[in-house]
Amino acid sequence: METSTLLIISTIGPENPEKATLPFVLATASQALDVEVTMFLQSSGVVLAKKGEAEKASAKGFQPVKEMLDSFLESGGKLFLCSPCLKEREITKDELVEGAEIGAAGTLVDAVLYASKVVTY
């Protein structure tokens, strides 16, 4: 059986904790169903991968983003961050959580073409 692959693209950061949480809920639920998941964070979404920032995005009724981010990465999820978005926010590679990778448009195009399905937030 072919492995299902899911790409989740999110542009929402800690300024909207509820919306920032939802992509991580989908990612971790998908992993629990043996789906291979890649996340690509753009715009203010990249802030969630800066050390100390995911802890600030918690939505009532949901598991904290930090816990889901850690679980996502520990379960083999791939996390890419938009390089121009990081640059705009003056976030450097050494400020990122372990496991986060930096990518640009070409990285995103490759991920879209590889994925069985794509979800955007």
pLDDT, tens digit (0-9, with 9 covering 90-100), for 92-102: 999 999 999 99
> What one-character DSSP code corresponds to residue 55?
G
43 CB-contact burial (10 Å; exposed 0-12 / middle 13-18 / buried 19+): middle
Mean pLDDT of 51-64: 94
* Confidence category of residue 3, pLDDT binned at 50, 70, 90: confident
User: Range of 37's domain?
Assistant: 5-120
pLDDT, tens digit (0-9, with 9 covering 90-100), for 71-84: 999 999 999 999 99
- In what helix (H) or strand (E) does residue 40 lie, and over which residues does it extend? strand 36-41
Here the CATH number for the domain that contains residue 23 is 3.40.1260.10
User: What is the model's pTM?
Assistant: 0.95
Domain total for the chain?
A: 1
68 contacts 27 by C-beta, under 8 angstroms: yes
The mean of the pLDDT values for the chain is 96
